[in-house]
Structure 1
Amino acid sequence: MAVTTFLFPLAAQAGAIPLPGDFYFISRDQYGTFVGSHKLYLEHAKGLKHVQYCNRDYFVRANSVAWTQIEADLGHHVQIEFNFGRGWRPICQRPQDQVALRDLGINMPAREFLQQGADDDQPASRLSKISGVFGKSNKESRHKSYHTQ
């Protein structure tokens, strides 16, 4: 029983752990200490935009592009790193200079974009999507039921 209890939390978190073959924007401070990261994808999915960094195709969220710009403004070193299974390998320097929000058709400063939560295609949790369906009812349908029809 103890083994099952121990393994379940690890399995539940497995999707958040970078895997070999993953690409990430990595931000490091002036001492090389990790500050933060955002994932880049190799396949298109809802909410992702097609971009090129260092002549290689990726798909990213607009929030990630804004984040690279802000991290660079803060004086952090931003690069794309590849997880090769035994560590991280830098593969592309200064991504914030290669793709900007305006390249994605977004004409506002990065900070303003993130503060407004302007990324319409942000992933939402399954529960928030379900509750949204039940919460969107007009006044008429609220008072109608099977018995009053």
Structure 2
Amino acid sequence: PYIPIMENLKLNYDNVTSIAIAGNSGSGKSYTLTYFLSMLKPLSDLIIIDPKFDTPSRWARENKIPVIHPERNRSKSDFVAEINESLSQTLNIIYKRQEILYDNPRHPFSHLTIVIDEVLALSEGTNKNIKDSFFSLISTDCIVRKSD
């Protein structure tokens, strides 16, 4: 599956482990993110994490995709703990896939994409242990996906 980036440039999503979108305020990061979400929707299962309860949450609602976002009566640490649980479940899926690939290296899998908007917003005002766990899970996920 290919994602068109611009004229004469396509991204082969089978070869992608990570995508980062960075830029100054007002540079179009949110627009780019919603473009990627629209392109990924038919290609991949999506886990969307939106700590600011902003553009990705609205896109997810319109497209009937679940999203993890803050809730009024919940602490920031509880929110990040929920994210950690989701990331842990994703790692378990990756490990199960690796076991299958050990016996059948050509086994096809559907894509599973984790989308996190504003990663640094998750670390502010969060219990240190929960924050450390979050960054550990993200690091492990990135390392394991490279070997997948």
TM-score scaled by structure 2? 0.25
> Which structure shows the higher strand fraction?
1
> Which structure shows the higher helix fraction?
2
TM-score scaled by structure 1? 0.25
